Structure 1
């Protein structure tokens, strides 16, 4: 099963399939609105603005599993991201990235690109997964990797 076979509800509650992003480079990120890394929304939006015309799509997946740093509902999260960071890339409904209720997309991403010491678990908010135009998960970046440091790996795939 490839990445394009997964679907998720967007932040407005509409079902979306990743197949609509086929042929694009994807940067998939678990986000949170009240995290020390939350200012990375600005850098993620900058990456999206810079490279969207060349084929990059950033996909944000809010998660409340790490110290409950995204406790509000989807509409509040969307408003926060737009108002504070001008987020225009696709945002999705809040999901779990670890545990029994892990969203199937993140189960797949974690299996394809393991973390530190081969761990599949997402350790914190703003873990980033880079997917090539063919839908292959090519890299995983830890939360402290600032978006601007992803320019070279993204450009290599564009």
Structure 2
């Protein structure tokens, strides 16, 4: 009989326990995204979305982590990361300088950039002809409905 009363008491306590108690053990993660980086990070219909956001959700599963999202410009985001104000900013280019202050995972994404031209210029656009240019600057950055970035670049002569 005592055993039955004990089991009944335990059952009642478990039923009355607030569901939020199950989340109390989740580790809190502060994530800040720099925007204007589609398709990796951008706002759509008022929500932060993109490949980086999906990847972060996969890494920090909801049952184990409580992720607090915020946004900011790149300089602010990088400063907050290096000063410990946030835990992660997601995808970032690895450099020797950044390795001094930031812990990086193994690369999860490799990007390749190409120079393209019309077929009539085949043979004229080579690494040799591009050597006379020293820098590239962004002229325009517009988000297409497909969430891809279109950038117009201008090469500057050396």
Question: Shared fold (TM-score greater than 0.5)?
Answer: no
**What is the TM-score when the length of structure 1 is the normalising length?**
0.29
**What is the TM-score when the length of structure 2 is the normalising length?**
0.29
Structure (1/2) with the larger strand percentage: 2
Q: Which has the higher contact order (CA 8 A, sep 6+)?
A: 1
Instruction: Please identify the structure whose Cα radius of gyration is greater.
Output: 2
Structure (1/2) with the larger helix percentage: 1
